[in-house]
Amino acid sequence: MHSKPPAATDPVGNLAADAAVAPPGERVAALRARLNGVLQGKQAVVEHVLTGLLARGHILLEDLPGLGKTTLARALATAIGGRFARLQCTPDLLPSDITGFNLFNQKRREFEFVPGPVFSDVLLADEINRATPRAQSALLEAMAERQVTVDNQRYALSPAFFVIATQNPIEHHGTYPLPEAQLDRFAMKLSIGYPAPEDEVRMLAADLTGDDSSDAAPPVLMPGELLRLQAAVRRLTVAPALQRYMVDLGAVTRAQPEFECGLSPRALLLWQRLAQARAFLEGRSFVIPDDIQAVAAPLLGVHLAALPAAADAVAQQVLDQVPVPTAPPRHAARDAPERGP
Rg of the chain (C-alpha set):
21
- Residues 323 and 132: their CA atoms lie apart, in Å, by 42
Q: Quick check: 266 and 302 in contact, CB under 8 A?
A: no
Q: Indicate the range of 1-5, 149-153, 154-158, 193-197 predicted with least confidence.
A: 1-5
Query: In the predicted model, is pLDDT for residue 12 greater than 60?
Result: no
CA geometry: angle 195, 165, 296, nearest 5 deg:
75
Comparing CA positions, the residue from 221, 286, 223, 245 lying closest to residue 50 is 221
DSSP state of 328: P
Kindly report the average pLDDT of the chain as a whole number. Answer: 85
296 or 341, greater pLDDT: 296
Q: Give the pLDDT confidence of 127-142 residue by residue, as tens digits.
A: 999 999 999 999 999 9
Q: Please state the pTM of the whole predicted model.
A: 0.85
pLDDT of residue 8: 42
Q: Quick check: 182 and 139 in contact, CB under 8 A?
A: yes
Query: In the predicted model, is pLDDT for residue 24 greater than 80?
Result: no
pLDDT of residue 215: 59
Q: Give the pLDDT confidence of 38-78 residue by residue, as tens digits.
A: 888 899 999 999 999 999 999 999 888 888 888 888 889 88
Q: Which domains does the chain have, with CATH numbers?
A: 39-193 (3.40.50.300), 231-333 (1.10.8.80)
Percent of the chain with pLDDT over 70: 85
pLDDT of residue 20: 39
Pairing of strands 84-88, 58-62: unpaired
Percent of the chain with pLDDT over 90: 58
DSSP state of 335: G
